[in-house]
Chain A
Amino acid sequence: MTTDTLLTVADFSVVYDVEPPVEAVSHVSLELRRGEILGLAGESGCGKTTLAYGIQRLLKPPAVITSGSAVFHDESGEDVDINSLTIDEMRAFRWNKVSMVFQGAMNSLNPVARVGDQLDDVFTTHRPSLKKAERTDEGKRLLDLVGVGRDRYRSYPHELSGGMRQRVMIAMAMALKPQLMIMDEPTTALDVLVQREILIQISQLREQLGFSVIFITHDLPLLLEISDRIAVMKDGKIVELAPAATIYRQAEHEYTRRLLGSFPSLTGDRGDFIRGGQHEEGDQ
């Protein structure tokens, strides 16, 4: 793996401009390496999704980026300051360089359009020079790549299982060979067997194609297995950023340890579980 940097986020803040204003992301800085899987962990409301949206400028009012920058270091050597792109440049940048698998993605396919046509749309928009036959070929190749199979090209979303729909979304996110894929809880609604298949697939595709991944989830045990490094977020700040093994063995921040302790071990000791009565956690 090369160690050069793909994305530099510096002093990034997002405020929801409501009364009173909420600083959802607070002065976050991080560097994402080329080919790396970076896990972004934290609980509901910690700002992880807002950060992911923010660096792609996908936020809507009342969210406002109040400080910082996200600079994308293109493989061509060019540096792109995402915040300073014009609307047309932004439209060309998104999906080409950075794509996203959204939360609940398996339900975000258009129910009345064939899967193949939805893949075709990506190419008609971003690769207008491709001929119809080339677009179809490429769409079918993508369905093979993610393990759905080209024979599903003409299927409607409801004819596919949840896991297959999720793979179609991943195929769509990979269509333009982006250098970064941001995945927001991509396997949360799936059961463990399907989740495992998809995780293995993501790892393999990353090996083959060399893209970077920002993988967002609250499932810390899962992140520990698939990530190179993990950033733990709380109240809009990254409280700890370290290689997965370090997070697992010697997490420095008290919150990281508490989050780890929230997951009873499958094969190890009981940990925090069932100590009867003395559990008064921070409900709010």
Chain B
Amino acid sequence: MTTLDFRHVTKQYKVRGAGDMLALDDVSFTLTSGQTIALVGQSGSGKSTIAKILTQLERETSGEVLLDGEPIPRRGKGLRAYRQRVRMVFQDPFASLNPYHTIRHHLERPLRLDKVVPGDQVEDEVRSLLKRVRLEPDAVVDRRPHELSGGQRQRVAIARALASRPELLIADEPVSMLDVSIRLGVLNLLADLQRESNLGVLYITHDLATARHFSDEIMVLHHGVVVERGPADDVILNPQHDYTRALRDASPDPDKHFADPAGPATPRS
């Protein structure tokens, strides 16, 4: 069982001419393997700052981040070992894959760098990773990213994140750049992989509907403060905080719209 602890983390950015900007204000939560937490909030609420601190692209101003009770390493081999256990899937599959390299290269690199399998088994592992993300290895392994669709690319990005056999996965808006009809497919894939490998997943999104269905718990972030957290259905169906309610009411919800006996919410002449 892997446990990642975010303890009283605060992050201040210095803004030229405007003093300090408090991006995170005393945020605490725990992510354990086998658990999916959705992190929701509007633009600028601090969602991506949390992801950056978890991957140590940014350093927290105060507070602690602990992996299995140990402070996370800041540099060198220790940091690399940490990043092998906690991996990230980025939003934009068009930007996160290198256009010069084949899909094989993208998957071989983490396998070799992290010495996941002996050298003579790398090719087999690449193929098995592609199968895990429901891609046909022969059809994609020698291609370059531009030859694949957005959905296929994001599957490759997920396979790459899984290559190092991480215990925790940070997924920052993993489907928002994809076409609507394939979003659920990719999310369902992530859900399957999460169960197969008992991964802990932090699902960062502004889409409340998928947050509700994809995760066990929802954390609502507003101006760097966690204003509400709880089981996914409770947070959406019975929000306690005004901000959560505002977010929910602003999200399109045709079920509610057409269920309302008074007719559509927008006035009609």
Q: Which residues of A contact B (CB under 8 A)?
A: 1, 35, 43-44, 162, 190-196, 199-200, 203, 207, 218-222, 224-226, 228, 245, 248-249, 258-259, 261-268, 270, 272-277, 279-284
CA A280 – CA B151 in complex, angstroms?
12
30 cross-chain CB contacts under 8 A: A35-B269, A43-B181, A191-B42, A192-B206, A192-B250, A193-B42, A193-B250, A195-B250, A200-B266, A203-B267, A219-B180, A219-B252, A224-B257, A224-B258, A225-B253, A261-B184, A263-B209, A266-B209, A266-B212, A266-B248, A266-B252, A266-B253, A266-B255, A270-B213, A273-B184, A273-B188, A273-B210, A273-B213, A274-B214, A282-B182
Q: Are B206 and A267 in contact (CB under 8 A)?
A: no
Could you give, for residues 242-269 of chain B, a 1 whenever the CB lies within 8 Å of some chain A CB and a 0 otherwise?
0000111111111111100000111111
CB distance from B154 to the nearest CB of A (A): 10
Q: Are A281 and B254 in contact (CB under 8 A)?
A: no
CA A203 – CA B267 in complex, angstroms?
8
CA A264 – CA B191 in complex, angstroms?
15
Q: Are B257 and A225 in contact (CB under 8 A)?
A: yes
The answer to the question of B189 belonging to the interface, with a C-beta cut-off of 8 Å to chain A, is: yes
CA A190 – CA B250 in complex, angstroms?
12
Chain B interface main SS type? helix
CB distance from B97 to the nearest CB of A (A): 16
CA A115 – CA B152 in complex, angstroms?
41
Q: What residues of chain A lie closer than 8 Å to B151, measured between beta carbons?
A: 281, 283
Looking at B152, B187, B188, B236, which has the most chain A CB atoms within 10 Å of its CB?
Answer: B188
Q: Are A225 and B266 in contact (CB under 8 A)?
A: yes
Q: What residues of chain B lie closer than 8 Å to A226, measured between beta carbons?
A: 266
Chain A interface main SS type? loop
Q: What residues of chain B lie closer than 8 Å to A263, measured between beta carbons?
A: 180, 209
Q: What residues of chain B lie closer than 8 Å to A222, measured between beta carbons?
A: 252
